Amino acid sequence: MRARGRLAALALLFQTSCGLAPGRQSTRLHAAPLADQLEAKAESLKCPFFRRRFLDAADAARQSTAWLAARHKSILGFMYTSTVEAPSHVWTREETLKAIKQDFVNRYSVTGRLSLDHYHPRCFFDSPDPDMPVRSPEVFASALKGLFDRRSSSLELLEEPRLMGDAIVAEWRLAGRLGLPWKPSIKPFVGRTTFTLDDMMSELHDTPVEAPRAYMEGVLLEACGPGTLRRDEGGAIVFVEGLDTPDARSEALKPGLLSLRDKGTITGWRDEIFPVTMGYGVPPLLRIERAAASLLGVRAYGVHVNGFVTLPNGEKELWVGRRAKNKQTFPSRLDHLVAGGLPDGMPPSECVVKECAEEASVPERLARNAKAVNVVSYSMNYNGCCKRDVLFCYDLELPLDFVPTPDDGEVESFERYPIAKVLDVMMTTEDFKPNCCLVIIDFCVRHGYLTPDQPGYVRLVQSLRVGND
């Protein structure tokens, strides 16, 4: 299991990773030398006043050390030693969801009481601050114990943690005081933690990497070789000197990507070229195969078409496609009428016409009626990589007597769903391809099927625009 969350006031963004059968890690905390000295001195004092003062000083030293330990991994490295035991149990999603709920009941951010068995002992807690990362749930839990004053701090869930594809999402509110001797206060703030269930991590336990990102970076560097890519002084992957044009970079990277395809690291090769840009409409830095976009963390663009009809009573129904069983991504899942990646150099409106013809046999005279209505964007973990997409949303109202027909083999069948059924399927199952849900939610908001009367409306609308330029 991997988890990501933010404690805004403390900049605690943590990422946790575990396999299907996590083991336990026993961790021993070495006492801070100063605190040890103060406690030893206190034992030798006969005067209760001075003995109490020395013990208070020792306690303050330990609290300050715990605070620093949560901020500085170098300190943690000196404070902890650990041993890793063999995995002992395979947790189901439901069991993990229950454990996460219990952690919030236990106010784990405040108390450090974490369901340790549900995290792999090599998990990695990360943050935007490069000095923050710590490894192992027990080390992290021990560090948390000194961060807050338990008696005056609170952690509460805003709503029930929920399963969303391969992730568990929890939204919470935290407030209170830090566990420093002067007890500085923390104003209430809201945050979100996303726990990602990632089977890939079970293959990485014995590899010298800290996260899938590091693993994939190593794979890419090895495949492309020192004549194409290198690490700069800051650790970022950059092109070697001389590859200073988009065409040169594209050609230099191509052999490495092809080798990763042949090894099975890159799947779903489509022979579709995607531009790598700093934003939509910006000249490309290079061009790559579409299937490699998530490996490189490249933002990709696509179109999604809400094909719908309006019944005589004014209600709307959506045409829903069932993806083919042999699709390399999300086989047999529910999908839009048509959707597709935006090829290099093709305007979105033309891509809509092309996809309408290929996937649903919608004639051009009807496809040209599609209206550009909005844009949604997202970032998600996909097969250990970072999938970052911007989707141009189109509404296409079709005649009541028109029936779409699969043409290119990517869709098995089409069915018309009432909006209420669409929403029910999205909320109670994982049948829809994940990014379709975002576009459908946007459709339902615009057409009045989701309104501010629904709890969480504002957060829901805001979540549709994560990762825009």
Tokens of 84: 């890793």
Q: Sort 60 into a burial class: Cβ within 10 Å, 0-12 / 13-18 / 19+.
A: middle
Bigger pLDDT: 8 vs 250: 250
* pLDDT (0 to 100) of residue 409: 83
| pLDDT bracket for residue 467 (50, 70, 90) | low
Looking at mean pLDDT, say which of 280-294, 335-349, 362-376 comes out highest: 362-376
Domains 211-295 and 297-462 fall in the same CATH topology: no
Section 201-208 average pLDDT: 31
Residue indicated by tokens 């899938």? 212
Over 80: is that where the pLDDT of 332 sits? yes
* pLDDT (0 to 100) of residue 468: 53
pTM, 2 dp: 0.55
SS3 of 284-351: the string is: CCEEEEHHHHHHHCCEEEEEEEEEEEECCCCCEEEEEEEECCCCCCCCCCEECCEEEECCCCCCHHHH
Over 80: is that where the pLDDT of 246 sits? yes
| Superfamily, domain 297-462 | Nucleoside Triphosphate Pyrophosphohydrolase (3.90.79.10)
Over 50: is that where the pLDDT of 25 sits? no
Strand-pair partners of 116: none
Residues 187, 175: Cα–Cα separation, whole Å: 6
* pLDDT (0 to 100) of residue 248: 93
Bigger pLDDT: 167 vs 4: 167
Section 449-466 average pLDDT: 86
DSSP label at 115? -
Contact, 71 vs 14, CB < 8 A?
no
* pLDDT (0 to 100) of residue 129: 37
Over 60: is that where the pLDDT of 48 sits? no
DSSP label at 148? B
Q: Name 262's Cβ contacts closer than 8 Å, sequence gap at least 6.
A: none
| pLDDT bracket for residue 395 (50, 70, 90) | very high
Looking at mean pLDDT, say which of 136-150, 230-244, 393-407 comes out highest: 393-407
DSSP label at 113? -
Torsion of CA 330, 332, 334, 335, to 10 degrees: 60
Tokens of 75: 């300190």
* pLDDT (0 to 100) of residue 22: 32
Q: Sort 326 into a burial class: Cβ within 10 Å, 0-12 / 13-18 / 19+.
A: exposed
- How many residues does the structure list for the chain? 469
Section 124-153 average pLDDT: 66
| pLDDT bracket for residue 147 (50, 70, 90) | confident
| pLDDT bracket for residue 219 (50, 70, 90) | confident
Residues 156, 164: Cα–Cα separation, whole Å: 20
* pLDDT (0 to 100) of residue 199: 45
Tokens of 387: 């999938």
Residues 126, 12: Cα–Cα separation, whole Å: 8
Contact, 413 vs 321, CB < 8 A?
yes
Residue of 319, 326, 303, 399 lying closest to 360 (CA atoms): 319
Section 380-401 average pLDDT: 85
Considering the chain, what percentage of its residues have pLDDT values greater than 70?
A: 70
Considering the chain, what percentage of its residues have pLDDT values greater than 90?
A: 30
Contact, 306 vs 444, CB < 8 A?
no
Residue 464 CA from chain centroid, whole number: 14
Residues 50, 44: Cα–Cα separation, whole Å: 10
| pLDDT bracket for residue 5 (50, 70, 90) | very low
Contact, 27 vs 81, CB < 8 A?
yes
Residues 372, 352: Cα–Cα separation, whole Å: 10
Contact, 194 vs 4, CB < 8 A?
yes
How far lies 427's CA from each of 54, 164, 239, 423, 441, in Å?
A: 58, 9, 44, 6, 11
| pLDDT bracket for residue 265 (50, 70, 90) | confident
Query: What does the buried/exposed string (b/e) look like for 116-135 if buried means 16 or more CB atoms within 10 Å of the residue's CB?
Result: bbbbbbbbbbbbeeeebbbb
Per domain, the residue ranges of the chain are: 2-202, 211-295, 297-462
Single-letter amino acid code for the residue at 291: A
Residue indicated by tokens 């002067």? 182
DSSP assignment string, 183-223: --EEEEEEEEEEEE--GGGGGSTTSS-SSHHHHHHHHHHHH
Residues 89, 13: Cα–Cα separation, whole Å: 27
CA-CA-CA-CA torsion sign (30, 33, 34, 38): positive
Backbone φ and ψ for 61, nearest 5 degrees, come out as -65, -40
Q: Does domain 211-295 have CATH number 1.20.58.110?
A: no
| pLDDT bracket for residue 194 (50, 70, 90) | confident
